[in-house]
Amino acid sequence: MEKPLTQHIVPGRQPLSLKEYEKVGGYQSVRKILKEMTPTEVQELVKDSKLRGRGGAGFSTGLKWSFVPMGPEAAQPKYLVANADEMEPGTFKDRVLLEGNPHQLIEGMIVASYAIQASISYVFLRWAYKLAAHEVTKAMHEAYEAGYLGKNILGSGFNLEMHLHTGVGRYMCGEETALLNALEGKRANPRAKPPFPQVSGLFGKPTIVNNVETLCNLPHIINKGADWFMQLGLTDDAGTKLYGVSGRVKTPGCWELPMGVTIRELLEEYAGGMQEGYLFKGLLPGGASTDFLVEEHLDVPMDYASIQAAGSRLGTGTMIIMDDQTCPVGFVHNLQHFFAQESCGFCTPCREGLPWVEKILLAIDRGEGKPEHLTTLDFHTKYLGPGNTFCALAPGAMEPLQSALKYFREDFERHIHEQHCPWSKTKAWQPSI
């Protein structure tokens, strides 16, 4: 089984230095594109590889690049931004790449920058990733010293500056236009689209924002070709994927596997199954802002189309497992508390609706719920859904809620009927005053 992204990552070992990285083929893709390929040819190769964005949306990477204006009349400078914010609850895959092989990310960013003819690039890093910041900074300095970054890279005439920017800890910065506002020193509110960042992004110039895992695939596609990449997947989706599992499983972790491995294989073979004394109840397949799947979905492949057909989204590919001894109401309340707290407050449905949802769930969890509360929650799942808010934060927050109401509604009703949480160690919650 090929593992191009993690083949040189060993837990507990320092990441490869530049010299070590070069010995295993590092930066060969940069030499290849600068000597043998035009930017358009790089775009077409990536498009042919069917690489889809690994940050959650799954949009075609090559197609996204093709929207950037090219040629001598295009606005300058152009920007390439690596989205390393990774604030999605339950997601930790990019951290593995950032801490384990930062030169791979830098090489991928050079490839992407060349493809769109960007001359300035940024790594927008989650504030809490201190070790990643150290390793990326070190690797960046090595790349500058070796001539892979800066002016006239390898004598090609191509220039690229690269900077590390550490975020301030808001989930909203994961949305690409809010991320761009934060880079500009503004409040991290999302922008209206159009214009799209590919045309008018950072400082009003053409900009591409790609996820860390997406960018790390690029050197391997350049070196080995589109057909090789497509053959790595088990289904119509190409490549490998970093899958993660957290929750009450025996061996939680992160693994690079062929795209399309089944949920059951991830849960039972790699995560070791449920811990003793716990049974599987449900899971979020791609981080906190995806719909629950249940036991009937265990044999569904973890790829974009299959998970969507099952009623959820692949998202980041990092599963959060819920066991039979975890209260679904408390589980969802915890998520909604996070989303309500992280709303930027720009649009009314998100600013007002998410705290309303969070308070209702808290009341139900405390034993203060009323039958009409479920009607109100159903209302919110529709009116905070896609097309009713300025960005995808609130619609994403509604995904675990709407699916919990679908699959675990009896648990919500039991809370309301019995006036306490059945999973509580005490007989009942004391009503708030």
pLDDT over threshold 90, residue 176: yes
* Cβ(408)–Cβ(423) below 8 Å: no
Nearest to 2 by CA among 285, 251, 259: 259
| 35-44, 123-132, 253-262, 424-433, range with the lowest pLDDT | 424-433
C-alpha span between 152 and 346 (Å, rounded): 43
Confidence of residue 12 (pLDDT cuts 50, 70, 90): confident
* Residues 218, 220, 221: CA angle, nearest 5 degrees: 65
Domain 18-232 has CATH 3.20.20.70: no
**φ/ψ of residue 54, rounded to 5:** -95, 10
| 87-91, 300-304, 317-321, 411-415, range with the lowest pLDDT | 87-91
Average pLDDT over residues 325-335: 96
Per-residue model confidence (pLDDT) at position 431: 38
Q: DSSP readout, 21-75?
A: HHHTTTTHHHHHHHHH--HHHHHHHHHHHT-B-TTSS--BHHHHHHTS--STTS-
pLDDT exceeding 70 applies to what percent of the chain?
A: 98
Confidence of residue 432 (pLDDT cuts 50, 70, 90): very low
Structure tokens at 166: 């550490």
pLDDT over threshold 90, residue 74: yes
- Highest mean pLDDT: which range of 319-323, 344-348, 386-390: 319-323
- Overall fold of domain 328-418: de novo design (two linked rop proteins) (1.20.1440)
pLDDT over threshold 50, residue 145: yes
Structural element, H or E, at residue 106: helix 102-116
Per-residue model confidence (pLDDT) at position 168: 85
In Å, what is the CA distance from 219 to each residue of 15, 171, 296? Answer: 17, 29, 38
Nearest to 259 by CA among 58, 26, 47, 48: 58
In Å, what is the CA distance from 429 to each residue of 363, 394, 421? Answer: 10, 29, 7
Rg (CA), the chain: 23
pLDDT over threshold 60, residue 85: yes
pLDDT tens-digit series, residues 272-310: 999 999 999 999 999 999 999 999 999 999 999 999 999
Per-residue model confidence (pLDDT) at position 56: 81
Look over the chain and give the mean of its residue pLDDT values, rounded to a whole number. 95
In Å, what is the CA distance from 293 to each residue of 176, 182, 343, 403? Answer: 27, 34, 25, 8
Helix residue ranges, H only, 67-101: 93-100
Nearest to 132 by CA among 88, 94, 167: 94
Q: DSSP readout, 372-424?
A: HHHHHHHHHHHHTSTTSSSSSHHHHHHHHHHHHHHHSHHHHHHHHHHTS-TT-
C-alpha span between 113 and 160 (Å, rounded): 8
What does DSSP say about strands 253-258 and 280-284: parallel, antiparallel, or unpaired?
unpaired
Confidence of residue 425 (pLDDT cuts 50, 70, 90): low
pLDDT tens-digit series, residues 227-277: 999 999 999 999 999 999 999 999 999 999 999 999 999 999 999 999 999
Average pLDDT over residues 166-193: 93
C-alpha span between 120 and 365 (Å, rounded): 49
Answer yes or no: same fold for 18-232 and 240-323: no
SS3 of 16, please?
A: coil
Nearest to 46 by CA among 66, 26, 27: 66
Per-residue model confidence (pLDDT) at position 169: 85
pLDDT over threshold 60, residue 68: yes
- The CB density around residue 155, as the number of other CB atoms within 10 Å, is 9
Confidence of residue 430 (pLDDT cuts 50, 70, 90): very low
What does DSSP say about strands 120-125 and 161-166: parallel, antiparallel, or unpaired?
parallel
What does DSSP say about strands 318-323 and 280-284: parallel, antiparallel, or unpaired?
antiparallel
SS3 of 429, please?
A: coil
pLDDT tens-digit series, residues 45-62: 999 999 999 988 889 999
**φ/ψ of residue 121, rounded to 5:** -135, 155
In Å, what is the CA distance from 236 to each residue of 57, 232, 303? Answer: 16, 10, 8
C-alpha span between 365 and 60 (Å, rounded): 41
C-alpha span between 373 and 98 (Å, rounded): 43
Give residue limits of the domains in the chain: 18-232, 240-323, 328-418
Query: 222: Cβ–Cβ under 8 A, 6 or more apart, which residues?
Result: 29, 32, 33, 37, 42, 45, 111
What are 60's strand-pairing partners?
52
- Report the predicted TM-score, pTM, of the whole model to 2 decimal places: 0.94
* Residues 309, 217, 181: CA angle, nearest 5 degrees: 80
Class in CATH terms, 240-323: alpha beta
